[in-house]
Amino acid sequence: MRVSTKLWLGLTLTTALILGSYGYRQVRQEQEDLRHAVDQEFRLLGTAIQVAVENALRDGQTADVHEILESLEFKDPATDVFVFDAKARLSASSWGGSQSLPALPGAVAEVLASREPVVRFEGPGGLSHLVAVLPLRNDNDALAGALALVRPLDDVRRDLAATAFSIFLSILTLVVGIAAVGWLLFRLYVHQPLASLLEAMRSVRAGDLQASASVDRRDEVGEVAAEFNGMLGELAEVRRRLAQEEDSRRALNAELQRADKLVTIGQLAAGVAHEIGSPLQVLNGRARALAGRPDISPEVRRNADILVEQSDRIARIIQQLLNLARRKPPRFEEVDVRTAGRAIFELVELDARRRGVRLEFEAPEALPRVLADGDQLQQVLLNLLGNALRATPRGGRVRLSLAPSLYRLPGSGTERASVALVVEDTGVGMTQEVLAKVFEPFFTAWGDSSGTGLGLAVVKSIVAEHGGTLVVDSRKDEGTRFTVHLPVRNNQETREIAA
């Protein structure tokens, strides 16, 4: 099969498929619109008749019920109306409704049992007839019976068939027109130039190096022919270019390997700088507190102790990064999550007061212990709380809550007992575009240059190494919630929490 024929068939089939899909969607949409319109009209009619029949039954005027049905029969003879008592016995009906009656017992019984209205489309494709059954209530709001309406959907089917035929005719016309124009264009601009080029190639293969492709065109095919004609006299130049391109490719690969090493070094350096930033902020805050107090008090001494603690923590973080470079795994031990959470909460409490943000902490007295690296766990909480404080404007709220929970293992249906660490704020939130990239290294949502974009990437890596999960839920201008699930230390506690 020729290339022009393949392209023509591909274009025709693609056009037919696209237009056919569009037409099918239009027909389906038209069907849904018609069904919706009929449904709304039918519900309004049923509600109006329901109110009138209920009023007549409450007044004991059964003759009024028959009068209502007869009046409706003159105005809308296509709609059959039936009135049933509380035992599903037919008590009144409009003229000519005997053919619709067999379709009602199931719906009437359902309404009498549930006391809720039922409206459904019946028949093939839901386009045979529309059935509505509404409960009837007396003055005490007790069930007095049911009102049933049945309307054939012949007019809907006719409208839908007319619409489908019109869409089909339009699509067929478009497909035939596009196919005809496409065949002519492909023959003129693809088939004939390629045939001339093929003839020249066969001549060259037979040994006639003086042959050339007689294609005088100012398009891509003409450029191909010109390149072919020039190729015969430039084989040596082409070989030289290929050798140069091979050398360039090797040099490019070497540069890429070097750039990859530089990226790795940059990630390590940025990680060190990022993790040192948070403790230094705490040290700075404590130093400010010390400098602002006129006398020495227990609070001053406590702040001084915190400064020492954070200095030690900086050293541990640097050592941890060095261990990470040597692929050293975390040092797991039994950790009291409540104690660790309270320590980090008190650590950032002063920063929260300075920012004018209300900081809340909630955790039960008894929490199962988890197997974790204590320093890495504090690093996770400090990163999440720091981001939350930064994203929350003055007068907002940041909340840290700890609680037992269950979480589903990734890629399986198994649930494990865990401790959930939830950090939520009432800050600026994130858009869906930012949310999709928030865990990527070097991606930062802050407009300034104060962040490296590694904080949440490091947090996610730590949580994954601990066998846990990290979930984020955020809405623009409404706030953000980070939930960390860490598995408990043994199976016994797993069974206790799951029970």
The 3-state secondary structure of 135-183, one letter per residue: EEECCCCCEEEEEEEEEECHHHHHHHHHHHHHHHHHHHHHHHHHHHHHH
Q: Which amino acid is at 288?
A: R
Helix (H, G, I), strand (E, B) or coil at 498: helix
pLDDT at 346 over 50: yes
Span 143-149, average pLDDT: 84
- Report the C-alpha gap between 113 and 86 in whole angstroms: 10
Looking at per-residue pLDDT, the higher value among 191 and 171 belongs to 171
**Could you tell me the CATH number of the domain that includes residue 388?**
3.30.565.10
- List, for residues 200-227, the tens digit of each pLDDT value: 777 766 666 566 666 666 766 677 777 7
How many domains is the chain partitioned into structurally?
2
pLDDT value of position 233? 61
Question: In the structure encoding, which two tokens stand for residue 476, read together?
Answer: 């623009």
Does 124 or 427 have the greater pLDDT score? Answer: 427
Considering the chain, what is the average pLDDT of its residues?
76
Flag whether 310 is in a domain.
no
DSSP 488: B
Phi/psi-derived region of residue 487, left when phi > 0, alpha when psi is between -120 and 50, beta in every other case: beta
Condensed to tens digits (0 to 9), the pLDDT of residues 298-326 reads 676 566 667 656 655 555 555 445 444 44
**Paired tokens of 431:** 């858009």
pLDDT in tens, 110-145: 888 888 888 888 777 777 778 888 888 887 778 888
- Which of 116 and 398 is assigned the larger pLDDT? 398
Name the least confident of 160-164, 185-189, 301-305.
301-305
Cα 287 to Cα 290, 382, 390, 424, 435, distances in angstroms: 5, 19, 20, 28, 35
Lowest mean pLDDT, pick from 58-67, 375-384, 428-437: 58-67
Residue from 399, 417, 412, 424 nearest 468 by CA:
417
Q: How far is CA 214 from CA 3, 194, 195, 199, 305, in A?
A: 20, 11, 10, 10, 89
Distance between CA atoms of 285 and 303, rounded to whole angstroms? 9
Question: What is the predicted pLDDT for the residue at 385?
Answer: 92
Q: Which two tokens stand for residue 475?
A: 């809405």
In a domain, 271, yes or no: no
Return the pLDDT at 499.
Answer: 39
Is the pLDDT at 66 greater than 80? The verdict is no
E runs forming strands in 162-263: none
Give the integer Cα–Cα distance in Å for 367 and 148: 59
Domain-located, residue 62: yes
Q: Which of 135, 159, 183 is the last residue of a domain?
A: 159
What percentage of the chain exceeds 90 in pLDDT?
Answer: 13
Residue 264: CA count within 13 A, CB half-sphere: 9
Check residue 322 and give its pLDDT. Answer: 47
Determine phi and psi for 473, rounding to 5 degrees.
Answer: -135, 120
Domain contains 309: no
pLDDT score recorded for residue 253: 74
In terms of Cα–Cα distance, which of 65, 38, 59, 64 is closest to 147?
65
188 located within any domain: no
On the question of pLDDT at 425 being above 90, the answer is yes
Buried-state track 19-44, b at ≥16 Cβ within 10 A, e below 16: beeebeebbeebbeebbeebeeebbe
- Evaluate if residue 374 carries a pLDDT over 50: yes
Give a yes or no: residue 275 inside a domain.
no
* % of the chain beyond a pLDDT of 70: 70
Is 380 within the bounds of a domain? yes
Q: How far is CA 312 from CA 82, 306, 319, 328, in A?
A: 84, 10, 11, 20
Q: Please enumerate in sequence order all residues whose Cβ is within 8 A of that of 20, keeping only pairs 6 or more positions apart, or say none.
A: 171
Of the chain, the end-to-end C-alpha distance in Å amounts to 68
CB 161 within 8 A of CB 185: no
Domain boundary among 107, 125, 159: 159
Q: For 411-456, what is the HEC assignment? A: CCCCEEEEEEEEEEECCCCCCHHHHHHCCCCCCCCCCCCCCCCCHH
The domain boundary, picked from 91, 125, 159, lies at 159
Q: What is the pLDDT confidence band of residue 494, given thresholds at 50, 70 and 90?
A: very low
| Domain assignment of residue 244, yes or no | no
The token pair that represents 265 in the structure block? 């070094």
What is the rounded CA–CA span in Å between residue 383 and residue 338?
Answer: 17
Q: Got the DSSP string for 289-332?
A: HHHH-SS--HHHHHHHHHHHHHHHHHHHHHHHHHHHHTTPPP--
Which structural domain, as residue segments, surrounds residue 487? 332-498
What contacts 24+ positions apart, CB below 8 Å, involve 255-264?
Answer: none
d(CA 172, CA 175): 5
Please check the confidence at residue 492 and state whether its pLDDT lies above 60: no
